[in-house]
Amino acid sequence: MGLFKWAQTKSPWIIHFNTGGCNGCDIELVAALTPRFDLERFGILLEGSPRHADILVVTGPVTLQVKDRLVRVYEQMPEPKHVIAIGTCAISGAPFNECYNVHGGIDTVLPVDAYVPGCPPKPEAIIDGIVKLIQKTKESEGNGKGK
Ligand code: SF4
């Protein structure tokens, strides 16, 4: 396994993007990053730049205002990259679906690798979703054996 692949599966860096949610999911994601829930124990680090991030964590429905920016952030991330949709708004648009200014869930714009349902999901569920995505990534790359 190459060094870069090893580092990405062992300690992926995430970038967070709120595409128009109510901030409920964001607060739970921030809680997951605090020492109480300690997402960093899995080697996961919150990163500010898409150019350094491996996983795009999206909360909220995709509004028309933010749609192009979301795609631009995704395109700036290096390969291999993954997307996780946090909360029912990110999954389907939820109550905001079919509003005049809402495009829909994240997968109407980007390929989504994992979904974490809830309104909002608890920090434990968010951590579980991210860890399962990492495990799925490892298995798909055939490097999960013997770990
Ligand atoms: S899923 Fe619920 S908590 Fe999360 S952004 Fe939508 S309305 Fe807010």
Element containing residue 86 per DSSP (H, E): strand 82-86
User: Ligand 1 in contact with 9 (CB < 6 A)?
Assistant: no
Atom in ligand 1 nearest the alpha carbon of residue 59 = 5
Q: What is the largest CA-CA distance in the chain?
A: 51
Report the distance separating Cα 129 and Cα 117, nearest Å: 9
Q: How far, in Å, is the centroid of ligand 1 from the Cα of 88?
A: 6
Report the distance separating Cα 1 and Cα 19, nearest Å: 35
Atom in ligand 1 nearest the alpha carbon of residue 22 = 8
Q: Which residues pair with 114 in a beta bridge?
A: 84
Mutate to test the pocket of ligand 1, among 29, 89, 102, 116 (most ligand atoms within 8 A of CB): 89
- Termini Cα distance of the chain: 13
CB atoms within 10 A of CB 103: 21
Architecture of domain 12-140: 3-Layer(aba) Sandwich (3.40)
pLDDT in tens, the chain (147 residues): 555 565 556 689 999 999 999 999 999 999 999 999 988 888 899 999 999 999 999 999 999 999 999 999 999 999 999 999 999 999 999 899 889 999 999 999 999 999 999 999 999 999 999 989 988 887 877 654 433
- Altogether, the residues listed in the chain come to a count of 147
Q: How far, in Å, is the centroid of ligand 1 from the Cα of 93?
A: 9
Q: Which amino acid is at 65?
A: Q
Report the distance separating Cα 94 and Cα 2, nearest Å: 40
Residues 6+ apart with CB under 8 A from 61: 19, 20, 21, 89, 90, 93, 94, 96, 97, 102, 103, 104, 105
Identify the pLDDT of residue 120.
Answer: 96
